[in-house]
Amino acid sequence: MDETLGPAAGSPLHWKFGPPEASIEALPRPRIEAALSTQPHARVLLFSAPAGFGKTWTLSALAQQKASAGYAVAWLSLDADDDEPARFFLHLIEALESLVPGLGLAARGYLQNTMGVPVAAVTETLLADLAQVQAPLLLVLDDLHLIQNTELLAALERLIRYAPAGFVLALASRSQPALKLATLRAKGLLLEIGEGELRLSQAETGDYLARHGLQLEAPALAALYRHTEGWVVGVHLASLWLRQQPQAWQQLADLGTSPATVGDYLLRTVFEQLPADQQQLLEALGIAQQLCGDLANTLAGRQDGQQMLEALEAMQLFLLPLDRQRHWYRFHNLFAEFLRRRLQGRDPERFKQLHFKASLWFATHRMQNLAIEHACLAEDPRMLAALVDGCGLELINRGQLHLIYKWRQHVPDEIAQDYPMLVLADVWSRAAELDLAEANRMLDEQLHRWRMAEAAADLEDSVLATLTIKALIALQKDDLPGCVALARRVELQLGGHTAFLEMAMLIVGALANVVLGEGESARRLLALAQQRNHFLEGHYLGMQLANVEVLLCLQQGQIKRAGQLFAQLRARTAPCFATNARALALPTISGALIDYHQGRLEGVEERLRWALATVDVINPVDLYAQGMLCLAQVQRALGKPKEARATLLRMQQLAAGNRAWRFQAQALGDEVTQLLQEPGAERLTRAEQRLNDVDWPGLAGHYRHLACNPVLWVRGLTRIRLLQARDHHSEALHEIAQLRGPLQDDWHGLQRLRLDLLAALSHQHLGYQERAQSLLVQCLSRAEHDALRSLFIEEGAPVRRLLSQLEAGERYPALQAFIRSILAIWPGQDALQAEVPLAEGLTEREAEVIQLAAQGLANDSIGQRLALALGTVKWHLHNIYEKLGVRNRTQAIRRAQELGLVAP
């Protein structure tokens, strides 16, 4: 987090970007040099062995050798916190840009203001930058075993595979990393150096001891080597031990044979030979990951911290300088683990007190990450809560709520409730299970407790963060007026707060206005959000902003424009996010809606399933509901009625859970439509019963404030379809006229087009062919402009017959290609010619027409008998021909007789 908040002066983080200044194992290693010489062109050098085998210092020697040969050398010492993409890449970029100024600049932009790091995008950007580096490059990653994140390991594999010529990756790990090592071996790209090469030989062990003034007799050297087995740290510990007690070699027989046993014994023996005050000093200093003189004074209660550290370095007690000025130090991991384990076991209270002191020191020096880690180890939840609360706003600003969640787990509830940022994290993490009233109650209670009146004229950033959480939950719970009201407060004070929070609130308000049909308000908020986006380096909010613009066009019925904007959005975001990044859930739904509307069904079901199962931070129930309705329609088009009904049921459950009754109405309406399009004589009865089961006035009452009530729209549309199915076309036209009234000319484009299409159907059935054809041609002309095909397919077989008749007439050549494109993708098109309809496939009127035709009556006589216009009789006969799969009147009569529809 130091790098998240901006490194403080004197930050110790730079120790990560270079090898230790001194090496206690600095001696020639001919076996390692020989191994390296066997594969001079290997791209991956893997040094794999347990702790204490000298991997780091071997890498250090390798780095010096490569630097002398003209390589640019980048070094990164990893720690446990680097197993998180944002931290890993920030540190990796810092290591690389030390070689080439500006390298990684674009990659840094992907790490700012994002809800999830786009690992693939960052990797590709770094690869592009590395391709510009002229000199050969060695990248060293020490302690790779601390990286378990699968995305990061995949990024390393891609780095290995696509890095430019001259790139070499050197890795040190206590275990075999989860990389595709077998593939690298097969391609000759991997050189592995393990325990065998890293162990000191007996002669090297003797040389090492001689460097420290120890000359052992051959039997004593052989005994020491037998027990240490060339383990580098074990040999060094033995040298310390023997310098303190020259005759101690005679006790070698008491040692075990494994490095762990030898190491534990020697560590204890060497440590216990030190004076008691020095033991206590080492235990106190050992709790810190990094040390400087001032911190050493704090931990040891002394005033000579710098001199003390330099003295310990001179004693070679595994204290390593981290910079050339010897300002910062750290203990070797093995020795540090020994010191901490010993202190915690012998004096747990002192162990916690020292961590408490370290936490205070790091907090005072603005090194928040280290301060928080020591607060955790001090088991002081109140200090931990205060530290997290202090930097929580910055984490929210940067979209890094996950870090607050991580540390929140160490704080009891009764303490967390006193700290605003922890409460916000709690409410947001529970947003899905809380209803809107409960979530708002919790947030308002905290605002009151913190004496931050929500109605205050000037919003502090902490209040704005709280209100942003409220707005996001309101959007998730379908409280659109609440979102708009909160966005208006930010709009009035724009520019007075952090850009991230302001932009997030403006986007939420814009999306709410889109759903409410307030196009101008939505555009104004989007323009303001775009202005604030210039102050952000990240891509997440910019992507969501562009997605709301796409949704605005969809709501207006501008499908072509929505597609153009989505193509631009995809081109900008494709390099920034992995294909399965949850940040892409909402744009994926938008893209699927566009493809469905334009009749491109391939892959839409799979994309929608993934997106609907992926929850993003911004989680508007409106868009998820649209996605579910679209999924049901796609499934129905693909001949999966059972899956479609299951999707509609899930949609109703989603709506009920969020009290979003308009979506429940939409799902119910679509369910009735599906019933109407099923075969069977009972379909009309079942559909009408389902329609009447719904408390439409009760659902509509929730939306009295809207000019166009979405529940009444669904009810009216469903009633029209039912009336048409019963051949009550005059009543259907009356219902269409009533439903058209509240629609806005500049907004409800798709809705008005649908009503025109349904009106064309009813006019055709009533014999007003010219009116029907005129309306149909208008619909097709407007739909062609946007490549809109779904509208026609959703209304089923009656519209298909209408389109087929118009296409066969060839009166409108400009529309022929578009009509054919609709008919070509019609669900079940391949089976239409082979249909063998049952008796109930004919409507009551069609059955009457075919019976009279079988009696030999001409078309005009049939019209007089049934009080129908001549054109209407011809329309019914055309439908009968299609349903029976025949070409003319004679074939139709014969087929009807075969099916028992008329008497022979």
Residue-wise pLDDT tens digits, 558-580:
999 999 999 999 888 777 776 77
Region 648-677: mean pLDDT is 88
Q: What is the pLDDT of residue 737?
A: 93
Q: What kind and span of H or E run contains 72? A: strand 72-77
Report the C-alpha dihedral over residues 454, 459, 463, 465, rounded to 10 degrees.
130
Q: Which residues contact 124 (CB under 8 A, 6 or more apart)?
A: 575
Q: Which two tokens stand for residue 509?
A: 């308000």
Task: Label residue 605 by pLDDT band (50, 70, 90).
Answer: very high
For residue 877, the domain's CATH number is: 1.10.10.10
Instruction: Judge whether residue 651 has pLDDT over 60.
Output: yes
Q: Mark whether 207 and 301 lie in a shared domain.
A: no
Q: Strand locations in 176-318, DSSP E?
A: 190-193
Q: Is residue 684 part of a domain?
A: yes
The pLDDT of residue 831 is above 70? no
Domain for residue 850, yes or no? yes
Q: Is the pLDDT of residue 540 over 50?
A: yes
- Residues 411, 372 contacting (CB under 8 angstroms): no
Q: Determine, yes or no, domain membership for 595.
A: no
- Tell me how far apart the alpha carbons of residues 779 and 795 are, in angstroms, rounded to a whole number: 13
pLDDT reported for residue 407 = 85
Scan for tokens 């439903």, then name that residue: 739
Taking each helix axis from N to C end, the angle separating 621-637 and 661-676, rounded to the nearest 10 degrees, works out to 10
Phi, psi of 777 (to 5 degrees): -65, -40
Q: 834 pLDDT exceeds 50?
A: no
Looking at mean pLDDT, say which of 446-450, 723-727, 836-840 comes out highest.
723-727
> Domain check: are 236 and 296 in the same one?
no
Domain contains 705: yes
- Determine the structural domain holding residue 344 and report its residue range: 276-379
For residue 63, the tally of other CB atoms under 10 A from its CB is 19
**Tens digit of each residue's pLDDT (9 = 90 or more) over 317-327:** 778 777 777 88
Reading the block at residue 750, the tokens are 């798709």
Same domain, 732 and 843: no
Radius of gyration over alpha carbons of the chain, in Å? 37
Looking at residue 3, its pLDDT comes to 39
The pLDDT confidence band at residue 116, using thresholds 50, 70 and 90, is: low
Q: What is the DSSP letter of 311?
A: H
Q: Which two tokens stand for residue 259?
A: 């490095």
Lowest-confidence segment of 234-238, 251-255, 379-383, 541-545 by average pLDDT: 251-255
Q: Which residues contact 89 (CB under 8 A, 6 or more apart)?
A: 107, 111, 117, 119, 122
Entry field: residues in the chain: 904
Residue 132 shares a structural domain with residue 15? yes
Ranges 71-85, 295-309, 460-474: which has the least confidence: 460-474
User: How many domains are contained in the chain?
Assistant: 5
Q: Are 745 and 768 in the same domain?
A: yes
Question: In the predicted model, what is the mean pLDDT of residues 891-903?
Answer: 78
CA distances from 333 to 12, 79, 323 (A): 16, 11, 17
Mean local confidence (pLDDT), 64-78: 86
Q: Do 814 and 744 lie in a common domain?
A: yes
Q: Residue 140 sits in a domain of what CATH number?
A: 3.40.50.300
Nearest residue to 248 (alpha-carbon basis) of 239, 258, 257, 260: 239
| pLDDT of 739 | 93
Q: How confident is the model at residue 588 (pLDDT cuts 50, 70, 90)?
A: very high
User: How does the average pLDDT of the chain come out, rounded?
Assistant: 82
pLDDT digits (tens, 9 = 90+) for 136-193: 889 999 989 888 888 889 889 888 888 888 889 999 888 888 888 888 888 888 888 8
Name the residue with tokens 């409280």. 479
Neighbours of 342 (CB within 10 A): 18
**Each residue's pLDDT tens digit, 333-349:** 767 877 888 899 889 99
Asked if the structure places residue 469 within a domain, the reply is no
The string over 506-527, giving b where at least 16 C-beta atoms fall within 10 Å of a residue's C-beta and e elsewhere, is bbbbbbbbbbbbbbebbebbbe
286 and 259 within one domain: no
**Does residue 654 belong to any structural domain of this protein?**
no
**pLDDT category of residue 1 using cuts at 50, 70 and 90:** very low
Q: Which of 353, 379, 405 is the last residue of a domain?
A: 379
Residues 178 and 81 in one domain: yes
Looking at the structure, do residues 680 and 798 belong to the same domain, yes or no? Answer: yes
Residue 626: the pLDDT is 92
Which residue, of 158, 178, 198, is where some domain finishes? 198
Examine the domain organization and report whether 157 and 290 are in the same domain. Answer: no
- Residue 82, domain member (yes or no): yes
Stated pTM of the model: 0.64
Whether residue 658 is predicted with pLDDT greater than 80 in this model: the reply is no
Last residue of a domain, one of 791, 825, 859: 825
Tokens of 5: 């908040």
Q: Is residue 232 part of a domain?
A: yes
Q: Name the amino acid, one letter, at 439.
A: A
Residue 458 or 56, more confident:
56
Does residue 181 sit in the same domain as residue 158? Answer: yes
Instruction: Please tell me whether residues 309 and 370 are part of one structural domain.
Output: yes
Task: Determine the average pLDDT of the residues in 857-877.
Answer: 87
